[in-house]
Amino acid sequence: MNAPHLIRPAVAADAPAIHALICELADYEKMSADVVSTPEMISDSLASGHAEAQLAEIDGAPVGFALFFHNYSTFLGRPGIYLEDLYVQPAHRGCGIGKSLLLSVTDIARERGCQRMDWTVLDWNQPSIEFYESLGAKIQHEWLLVRLDADALARLDCAGA
């Protein structure tokens, strides 16, 4: 049964609620020590357009979010959307909120002429993998995530290349 919920675009003033949900997500993913963002940083990112979010609410209380931004496919010659995080509080899972959040972002992608949407999922998160596959998403096993963290970025400068 679907919970009566509202999905709406997040605004900068929603940053404290989104940040609290990010911290819950990090705890779920056993990555709490990696969270260095602040509500102010989230607010700045939303206000500047560097990131966008959809917020799920039940009776005015935030229960989930989807945070995303644009990327670009050189092969398609078109923009896409990268879904950075999708999270629904455990007490509200299985009620259609995650699907509503994801569909709200896919609606935005279609409206903006995006040709695809990408995101990652932890390999141990079987419930999420099954959820994404049930919606038609294809897990790209041949692709590996590559990351330069802040320390690596600092070490790599044009003069030292």
Angstrom distance (rounded) from CA 113 to CA 155: 37
Angstrom distance (rounded) from CA 89 to CA 39: 18
The residue annotated as part of the active site, out of 28, 72, 82, 132, is: 132
What is the distance in angstroms between the CA of the first residue and the CA of the last residue of the chain?
56
Q: Are 70 and 82 in contact (CB under 8 A)?
A: yes
- Would strands 117-118 and 78-88 be described as parallel, antiparallel, or unpaired? parallel
* CA neighbor of 119 nearest in space, from 109, 30, 8: 109
Question: What phi, psi does 84 have (nearest 5°)?
Answer: -75, -45
| 28 catalytic residue (yes or no) | no
Point out the residues that are catalytic. Answer: 132
